[in-house]
Chains A and B, each alone.
Chain A
Amino acid sequence: MTKNQKTKKLKTQVENAEQNDLKNQLVRVMADYDNLKKRSEDERNQMYKLASISFFGKLLPIIDNLKSAQNHIKDSGIAIIIGQLETLAREEGFEEIKIDVGDDFNHETMEVIETIETKEEKDNNNNTNMDGKVAEVVQSGWRHAGSPGLGEDGATIVRHARVKVYKYKKEEKINE
């Protein structure tokens, strides 16, 4: 092989390597772009859902206040308005989380704001073990049904229910 031939061969090799590099980069960029397209489509859907959830979340305190007002003045007109709001919420896929006093505390859907001390082993209905049961629902919880992604059963929690929970009084002092 002459020197010229050698040079030429080396040159071709370098060029090939460069070409492969570029091709690699191009493929990576194309793949990145394709993935980005898919993700932005997902994110767009997610955004749409989150926007409506976020808006409804801001509306909830007003619905609460209306209900407080209704508890106080008991006006049939306001009752209708609350009904309308609740129908609208249902139509948009929102539902109130059903919680009854005596239900077990569920960390997925509830937030404890206070514990109620209880020393009794049995409650009035002779049911045992009130420890860890809901004593009062202070603020209702809401979820958006059928929106996959967040939350346990495929539903997104818009607002966790705020509850008071029974707890056995245990005398214990720590970090003295």
Chain B
Amino acid sequence: MSKIIGIDLGTTNSCVAVMEGGQPKVIPASDTGKNTTPSVVEVVKNLVGDVAKRQMILNPSNTIASVKRLMGRREDDKEVTRTKKMVSYKIVAGKNGMAEVEIDGKAYTPQEISARVLMKLKKDAEKYLGEEVTSAVITVPAYFDDSQRQATKQAGEIAGLKVERIINEPTAAALAYGLDKKNAHKIAVYDLGGGTFDISILELGDGIFEVKSTNGDTHLGGDDFDEKLVDYIAEEFKKDNAVDLRLDKQALQRIRDAAEKAKIELTASEEVEINQPYITQKDGQPLHLTMKLTRAKFESLVDGLVQKTIKPVEDALKDAKLKASDIDEIVLVGGMTRMPKVIETVKNFFGKEPNKSVNPDEVVAVGAAIQAGVLAGDVKDILLLDVTPLTLAIETMGGVATPMIPRNTTVPTSKTEVFSTAADNQTQVEINITQGERPLSADNKSLGRFILDGIPPAPRGIPQVEVTFDLDANGILTVTAKDKATGKSQNIKITGSVGLSEDEVKKAQEEAERHKAEDEKKAEIIKAKNNADAMVTTAEKALKDVGDKTPADVKTKVEDKIKAVKETLSKDSTKEELEKVTKELSDTLSEVGQQMYSAQGGQEQENNENGGEPKTEDKKKDEQVEEGQVVE
């Protein structure tokens, strides 16, 4: 059975999504790679989306935007009259007095125009999926009446799509958050898009959403916010330079781009700098636009617009006979709801944190895809895949918990890593398995430990101990340690304790978050200590190997520095102190090397020939694997 796509057919932008592997996936436009497509159609050349938008100024009477405002409405409808003033194409009364678009004397119904947008989305989906798409779920505003819904359905059919269902945009948004499965009964969907504002109050009963009330402002959206900002920038520039940039279309375009960029940046930062050098000329001299804009300033500029959304929300609640505190969940839809001020206003009004984790430009299409998935039978629990809630780690030198299986890894999984010894002639290693997010083993929960012995004596760092963590689908962890030289291995099986209750997981994660700063500091000190320790070993080895060829003064210097490092190590030293003495030792040590090379000169080549590939024999041994005994 072919896939059913979910389509958000918007006033300014449209979006298409599909269920894939049980997850909704937004399909990018094939021409731009963007996840949304402008709902703009050039009728004569049949251009849709960004390409139609780019030539809009050249062919204003052939290029149709905001056709959704005409869908299923009569030509004498109030909204149509208002739209006529806004757009530059011709709107006429067609069959039964319905609003139609006239281009070069030929009339097109809003359904036909919308169908062009749907056709493009269908094509994009087919390209992405590699198969033909014949059915779709399409969303409409909750306030659409029967004839508007009918018109939307016809648009789908003209585009060659069987419309499996028409669903309400707020319902789709609620579905995207899985609110149909939650214990939420009363839901408010706040949708502030490019050109329209909608508020819907839904009530959930028996898995079905009922629209209790809707309200909004059909001419309030992100474009108004942009316009305010452009005006402010232009006014400020005029104050300083007595030039109105809005009269120069080229400059205006640059301010528009800069304003949009600033608006987006201000959702994350407190202040942005707007820099547009050489924006215009005055008396033959170039003028530059440079200004700083704080988030507070931007918020004060658009405060009136944000406040304008509150009255419709109050009215919608009144119609639904509810108070703000009765609402269980709030869902944010539309790009403008990314603005911190909008989020804050909604939060303060309802006294609750709104749902905003799903991309607000895509949330309606995602919900439509989920509905489509249910209709196609895709959304079944085929096989529930579990993840490990906490990191599983092994304790290494200095008590550091070295992660083997990071949290949120899908199980079953396994991971193998090779470790070595920390001291010369160490014949056994202790494997301590820990669980938790803290960087030090002592702060995490130890799940079990065992000892692998019988490692042949060798300098530190030479033995190779292969440790494997294997976590099966039932949460049973098997840890195996194998000495690669002898093939000897040991393992431990840990059952039960890997699985934790939700509270335990949350506690562990919170603890890690709380201790993050001090843990990082501790871990840094341990790293510095380990480095210092390794440097001492290297230095001692160097003195042993070439000490007799080193001038006495250099040798004493190295010995002094070794002593200094050891002393610092034995005390409770800071990371900086440790790094300082380690560096000093390292610098002194390189003098030994320099002395050696200047003394030896021509012997280098010979040494190289003897020095290559010392481990061929070891490698052969690696392949002999023996079954080890089981601890526990």
B58 contact from A132, A151, A160, Cβ within 8 A: A132
| B85 pairs with A112, CB closer than 8 A | no
Report if B343 contacts A (CB, 8 A): no
Chain B residues closer than 8 Å to A92, beta-carbon distance? none
| B286 pairs with A68, CB closer than 8 A | yes
Report if A25 contacts B (CB, 8 A): yes
| Cα of A167 to Cα of B87 in the assembled complex, Å | 19
In angstroms, how far is the closest chain B Cβ from the Cβ of A125? 22
| Cα of A22 to Cα of B538 in the assembled complex, Å | 57
- Extra A-B contacts (20), CB below 8 Å, given A65-B277, A115-B57, A174-B88: A32-B21, A50-B33, A65-B278, A68-B277, A68-B278, A69-B278, A72-B286, A107-B42, A107-B51, A107-B52, A107-B55, A112-B55, A113-B57, A113-B253, A114-B250, A132-B58, A150-B30, A150-B31, A162-B250, A167-B58
| B58 pairs with A165, CB closer than 8 A | yes
Write out, one digit per residue, whether chain A residues 122-166 have a CB within 8 A of any chain B CB (1) or not (0). Answer: 000000000010000010000000000011000000001010010
B383 contact from A29, A68, A113, A175, Cβ within 8 A: A29
Report if A81 contacts B (CB, 8 A): no
| B30 pairs with A110, CB closer than 8 A | no
B87 contact from A72, A112, A175, Cβ within 8 A: A175
| B278 pairs with A175, CB closer than 8 A | no
Chain A residues closer than 8 Å to B277, beta-carbon distance? 65, 68-69
Report if A78 contacts B (CB, 8 A): no
**Top 6 A-B pairs, shortest CB-CB distance:** A68-B278, A111-B54, A175-B84, A114-B249, A112-B58, A112-B57
| A105 pairs with B58, CB closer than 8 A | yes
In angstroms, how far is the closest chain B Cβ from the Cβ of A31? 11
Considering the complex, give the chain A residue whose CB is closest to the CB of B279. Answer: A68
| A160 pairs with B89, CB closer than 8 A | no
| Cα of A136 to Cα of B112 in the assembled complex, Å | 35
Chain B residues closer than 8 Å to A29, beta-carbon distance? 382-383
Chain A residues closer than 8 Å to B61, beta-carbon distance? 172, 174
| A113 pairs with B278, CB closer than 8 A | no
Write out, one digit per residue, whether chain B residues 24-63 have a CB within 8 A of any chain A CB (1) or not (0). Answer: 0000001111000000001001010001101111100100
| B278 pairs with A108, CB closer than 8 A | no
Chain B residues closer than 8 Å to A151, beta-carbon distance? 31
| A112 pairs with B31, CB closer than 8 A | no
In the complex where A107-B51, A150-B32 touch, is A113 in contact with B249 (Cβ < 8 A)?
A: yes
In the complex where A25-B383, A68-B286, A112-B58 touch, is A174 in contact with B31 (Cβ < 8 A)?
A: no
Count of B residues near A, CB < 8 Å? Answer: 31
Report if A8 contacts B (CB, 8 A): no
| B54 pairs with A138, CB closer than 8 A | no
Report if A28 contacts B (CB, 8 A): yes
A-B contacts, 18 of them at CB < 8 A, read A28-B382, A29-B383, A32-B21, A65-B277, A69-B277, A69-B278, A107-B54, A111-B54, A112-B56, A113-B253, A114-B57, A114-B250, A115-B58, A150-B33, A160-B54, A162-B250, A174-B88, A175-B84
Report if A36 contacts B (CB, 8 A): yes
Considering the complex, give the chain A residue whose CB is closest to the CB of B275. Answer: A65
- Contact residues of B between 79 and 103, Cβ < 8 Å to A: 84-85, 87-91
| Cα of A105 to Cα of B87 in the assembled complex, Å | 23
| Cα of A29 to Cα of B412 in the assembled complex, Å | 14
| Cα of A77 to Cα of B36 in the assembled complex, Å | 43
In angstroms, how far is the closest chain A Cβ from the Cβ of B127? 10
Considering the complex, give the chain A residue whose CB is closest to the CB of B58. Answer: A112
In angstroms, how far is the closest chain B Cβ from the Cβ of A155? 12
| Cα of A29 to Cα of B130 in the assembled complex, Å | 19
| Interface core residue of A28, A36, A72, A111 (most chain B CB under 10 Å) | A111
Chain B residues closer than 8 Å to A50, beta-carbon distance? 33
Chain A residues closer than 8 Å to B47, beta-carbon distance? 107
| Cα of A172 to Cα of B90 in the assembled complex, Å | 11
Chain A residues closer than 8 Å to B89, beta-carbon distance? 174
